[in-house]
């Protein structure tokens, strides 16, 4: 039997998006063109493949059974074809779509952009929100090149690479009336705290670390981004518990001082996640190495 390989990406897009509209937008097709491709797939495979539901489409049992094989086949084709392509960062023109969590956006992205400016002036970066789960980042569908942050329960279609680890420290205002050069457990529990609630799993890690150590916090305010913390701390007697690399940046503000946490709160991981189809893409591999080199330089100077 002869197969039209152009139909296979349509099948995978429908499997991952569970929506004709989203799959068409992802593939740059009109909905009628995608529906026509789906009808050809149905004729070839002799199965409905997808049935309509109230909020989209649902794959049939047959579609579910062949999806891993189709995805793996396309990934292997990408490995062969993309692996033969050449990428010269000094002359290439390309845009990467990256989904960093708020930590990675502050700590990693500025240094990455500085590297691109000198080593790859034609390479641009567009950021998309990390969101509350991987599906929202676009990395599962492959529309986003990679996600940066704490990656939890990834599907088989993603490759995960550990990038770095960071710890936690505390920030108070420089002339805090109750805190000197160290912060005791009693002082920590007696202060009111600024809590950061970024999207994703970073906040879960901090809460779990505090719980493991039996360390209590009285929350004064919760904010959605690390950038809100310095101004609040500088104007109050509050305390904030933040990643060390962010604390390193905050320490440059003379109004603030960074202190070790009163107990060991452990570390948290930062990972890269990308779709398997990019595994052998030379440009993608180069960009991932830029991230690795950036992380190594940050952790070496910590």
Do 264 and 213 form a contact (C-beta atoms < 8 A)?
A: yes
Q: Which helix (H) or strand (E) holds 110?
A: helix 109-119
Residue ranges of the chain assigned to CATH 1.10.10.10: 7-82
Q: Quick one: average pLDDT of 275-289?
A: 88
Poorest-confidence range of 4-13, 186-195, 201-210, 220-229? 201-210
CATH of domain 168-266: 3.40.190.10
pLDDT band per the 50, 70, 90 thresholds, residue 8? confident
**Nearest of 109, 96, 108 to residue 143 by alpha carbon:** 96
pLDDT score for 210: 87
3-state class percentages of the chain: helix first, strand second, coil last, to nearest 5:
45, 25, 35
pLDDT score for 6: 79
In whole angstroms, give the CA distance from residue 160 to residue 291: 13
In whole angstroms, give the CA distance from residue 164 to residue 300: 11
pLDDT band per the 50, 70, 90 thresholds, residue 159? very high
Residue 191 has pLDDT above 80, yes or no: yes
Domain 7-82 class?
mainly alpha
pLDDT band per the 50, 70, 90 thresholds, residue 172? very high
Rounded to 5 degrees, φ, ψ at 267 are: -130, 165
Residue 181 has pLDDT above 80, yes or no: yes
pLDDT score for 17: 84
Poorest-confidence range of 177-181, 202-206, 257-261? 202-206
DSSP 168-218: EEEEEETT-SS--SS--HHHHHHSEEEEE--SSSHHHHHHHHHHHHT---E
pLDDT score for 148: 95
Residue ranges of the chain assigned to CATH 3.40.190.10: 94-164+270-300, 168-266
Residue 73 has pLDDT above 90, yes or no: no
Question: Look-up: residue for tokens 């296979």?
Answer: 8
pLDDT score for 198: 66
pLDDT score for 288: 96
Residue 201 has pLDDT above 70, yes or no: no
pLDDT score for 194: 96
pLDDT score for 193: 97
pLDDT score for 28: 75
Reported as a single tens digit per residue, the pLDDT across 79-114 is 666 555 678 899 988 899 999 999 999 999 999 999
Contacts of 295 (CB under 8 A, 6+ apart): 108, 163, 164, 270
Reported as a single tens digit per residue, the pLDDT across 34-71 is 899 899 999 989 999 999 888 789 999 999 998 888 88
Do 17 and 143 form a contact (C-beta atoms < 8 A)?
A: no
In whole angstroms, give the CA distance from residue 214 to residue 174: 27
Q: Quick one: average pLDDT of 120-138?
A: 86
Residue 60, Cβ density class (10 Å: 0-12 exposed, 13-18 middle, ≥19 buried): middle
In whole angstroms, give the CA distance from residue 49 to residue 104: 39
pLDDT band per the 50, 70, 90 thresholds, residue 281? confident
**Nearest of 8, 43, 36, 13 to residue 25 by alpha carbon:** 13
pLDDT score for 1: 55
- Look up the CATH architecture of domain 94-164+270-300: 3-Layer(aba) Sandwich (3.40)
Torsion of CA 168, 173, 174, 176, to 10 degrees: -110
In whole angstroms, give the CA distance from residue 270 to residue 207: 17
pLDDT score for 297: 94
pLDDT band per the 50, 70, 90 thresholds, residue 4? confident
Average pLDDT in the chain: 88
Contacts of 5 (CB under 8 A, 6+ apart): 77
pLDDT score for 99: 94
In whole angstroms, give the CA distance from residue 99 to residue 143: 11
Identify the residue with better confidence: 78 or 71: 71
């Amino acid at each position: 039997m002869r197969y039209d390989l152009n139909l296979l990406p349509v099948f995978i897009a429908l499997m991952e998006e569970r929506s004709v509209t989203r799959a068409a937008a992802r593939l740059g097709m009109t909905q009628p063109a995608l529906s026509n491709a789906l009808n050809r797939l149905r004729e070839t495979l002799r199965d409905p493949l997808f049935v309509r539901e109230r909020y989209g489409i649902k794959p049939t049992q047959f579609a579910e059974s062949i999806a891993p094989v189709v995805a793996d086949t396309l990934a292997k084709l990408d490995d062969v074809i993309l692996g033969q392509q050449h990428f010269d960062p000094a002359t290439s023109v390309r845009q990467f779509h990256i989904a960093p969590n708020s930590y990675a956006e502050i700590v990693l992205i500025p240094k990455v952009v500085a590297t691109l400016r000198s080593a790859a002036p034609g390479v641009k970066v567009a950021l998309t929100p990390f969101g509350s789960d991987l599906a929202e980042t676009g990395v599962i569908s492959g529309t986003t090149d990679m996600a940066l942050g704490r990656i939890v329960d990834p599907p088989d279609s993603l490759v995960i690479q550990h990038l770095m680890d960071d710890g936690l420290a505390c920030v108070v205002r420089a002339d805090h009336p109750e805190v000197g050069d160290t912060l005791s457990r009693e002082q920590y529990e007696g202060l009111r705290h600024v809590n950061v609630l970024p999207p994703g799993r970073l906040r879960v890690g901090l809460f779990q670390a505090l719980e493991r150590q039996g360390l209590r916090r009285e929350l004064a305010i919760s904010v959605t981004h690390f950038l809100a913390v310095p101004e609040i701390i500088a104007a109050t007697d509050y305390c904030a518990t933040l990643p060390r690399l962010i604390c390193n940046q905050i320490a440059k503000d003379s109004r603030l001082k960074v202190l070790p946490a009163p107990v060991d709160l452990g570390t948290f991981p930062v990972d890269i996640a990308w779709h398997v189809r990019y595994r052998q893409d030379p440009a993608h591999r180069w960009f991932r190495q830029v991230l690795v080199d950036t992380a190594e330089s940050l952790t070496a100077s910590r």
